[in-house]
């Protein structure tokens, strides 16, 4: 018996990193999966790996910061599997810039994907999650709990996700819907390795949020995603779980 047997999980940002690791982990626990991402090739590869685990999977290339695409993704998931038990909002982007040099377009792009996308997917999913007394798992960050130098837009988006998640937990607790967020730090993903820093950036400021145990693979986050999605976490809602190797301890 898997911990997610018969549960339908909709996962955004599934083309790589934490999203791919979470999809594979959930498949091993018996979940049926609907996967989305803007990177079609990576999404197809993740779907292939999930299928190799014996799981039912459907995937759809989509930009969840677009209202119509977010709505269509949730609708397609429910049409395919006839229900929705878990929404995992994992899709996100990061970029660095000093605040006084930051354009409004830069700021809005980060918040559009990270925060607006989380809101849009959540709004569309809640009516279905209420029917199954399901769960929402949002990917926040330690950057939403403590200052990330040069990453103010990213920090703002993740801090807002934590507050949004807590509000959902309170609003829908009596109706059986749970909502929690995960706060990773020092996770080895493609996103974390490609973002460029501003000139003259001080690495010691960035290292304030580094794990004291060194970097970890995305599988450590996938384990927590599965736990929060499962009935084992049935009385956990409205909380942030740090997976940061004592970075903020």
Give the per-residue pLDDT at 191. Answer: 73
Give the per-residue pLDDT at 192. Answer: 64
154 flagged as catalytic: yes
Angle, helices 17-28/40-52, rounded to nearest 10 degrees: 20
Which secondary-structure segment (H or E) carries 160? helix 152-172
Domain boundaries, the chain: 8-243
Sites in the chain below the pLDDT cut of 70: 192-193
In the CATH scheme, what architecture does the domain 8-243 have? 3-Layer(aba) Sandwich (3.40)
Strands 57-61 and 240-243: unpaired
Give the per-residue pLDDT at 1. Answer: 82
pTM above 0.85, yes or no: yes
Give the per-residue pLDDT at 195. Answer: 86
Give the per-residue pLDDT at 194. Answer: 74
CA distances in angstroms from 32 to 27, 59, 153, 214, listed in the order given = 7, 11, 34, 33
CA distances in angstroms from 131 to 69, 96, 221, listed in the order given = 23, 40, 27
DSSP 42-89: HHHHHHHHHHHTT--EEEEE--TTSHHHHHHHHHHHHHHHS---EEEE
Strand ordering across the sheet containing 86-89? 57-61, 32-37, 8-11, 86-89, 135-139, 178-184, 240-243
Is the CB of residue 230 less than 8 Å from the CB of residue 196? no
Distance separating alpha carbons of residues 242 and 220, to the nearest angstrom: 11
């Amino acid at each position: 018996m898997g911990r997610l047997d018969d549960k339908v999980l909709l996962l955004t940002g599934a083309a790589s990193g934490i999203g791919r690791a979470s999809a594979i982990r959930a498949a091993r626990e018996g979940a049926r999966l609907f996967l989305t991402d803007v990177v079609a090739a990576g999404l197809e590869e993740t779907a292939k790996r999930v299928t190799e685990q014996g799981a039912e999977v459907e995937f759809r290339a989509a930009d969840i910061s677009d209202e119509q695409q977010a709505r269509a993704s949730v609708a397609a998931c429910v049409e395919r599997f006839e229900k929705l038990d878990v929404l995992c909002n994992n899709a996100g982007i990061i970029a660095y810039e000093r605040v006084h040099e930051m354009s409004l377009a830069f700021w809005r792009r980060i918040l559009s994907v990270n925060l607006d996308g989380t809101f849009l997917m959540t709004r569309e999913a809640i009516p279905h999650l209420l029917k199954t007394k399901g769960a929402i798992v949002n990917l926040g960050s330690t950057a939403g709990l403590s200052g990330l130098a040069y990453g103010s837009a990213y920090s703002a988006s993740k801090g807002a996700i934590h507050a949004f998640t807590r509000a959902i937990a309170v609003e829908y607790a009596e109706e059986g819907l749970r909502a929690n967020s995960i706060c990773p730090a020092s996770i080895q993903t493609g996103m974390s390795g490609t973002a460029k820093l501003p000139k003259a950036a001080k690495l010691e400021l960035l290292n304030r949020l580094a794990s004291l145990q060194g970097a970890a693979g995305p599988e450590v986050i996938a384990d927590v995603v599965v736990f929060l999605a499962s009935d084992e976490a049935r009385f956990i809602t409205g909380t942030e779980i740090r997976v940061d190797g004592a970075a903020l301890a």
